[in-house]
Amino acid sequence: MHDVEVEPDELRKSAEAAKDAAAEVRAVDLTAVTGLAAALPGSRAGEKSGELDAHWEQNATTWASNMDAYGEKLTASAESYEASDGAAEQVFGGLGDF
């Protein structure tokens, strides 16, 4: 059987990194393409720039929300591992290290 070791503090660090990444993406100004229509009048790229803006905005919003949820799940996992370790320590606490 393989040994699995989980460090709850590392899970929490990863959770914070996920939440920070989500905040960074939310802060990005995705409206830069809105000027393409005026800069490229009559072009297909100019016509499609409005769709691209909406597409980027939707994808960024979804990605950031997913990263927040991922961070929350990592935090919940850290708490669960700590609770399991605490319960095992209660049962086996007096036996020392094996």
pLDDT at 72 (0 to 100): 98
pLDDT at 12 (0 to 100): 97
Q: Specify if 69 maps to a domain.
A: yes
Three-state SS across 43-77?
CHHHHHHHHHHHHHHHHHHHHHHHHHHHHHHHHHH
Looking at the chain, how many residues does it have? 98
Tally of domains in the chain: 1
Per-residue pLDDT of the chain (98 residues; tens, 9 = 90+): 678 888 999 999 999 999 999 999 999 988 777 788 888 888 888 888 878 888 888 999 999 999 999 999 999 999 999 998 888 787 876 565 55
Q: Specify if 1 maps to a domain.
A: no
Q: Specify if 25 maps to a domain.
A: yes
Q: Specify if 83 maps to a domain.
A: yes
pLDDT at 96 (0 to 100): 58
pLDDT at 88 (0 to 100): 77
Host domain of residue 46: 8-91
Q: Specify if 98 maps to a domain.
A: no
Give the whole-angstrom CA distance, residue 52 versus residue 38.
Answer: 15
Q: Specify if 57 maps to a domain.
A: yes
Contacts of 26 (CB under 8 A, 6+ apart): 60, 61, 64
**Structure pTM?**
0.76
Q: Specify if 64 maps to a domain.
A: yes
Q: Residue 24 CA to chain centroid, in angstroms?
A: 11
Q: Specify if 80 maps to a domain.
A: yes
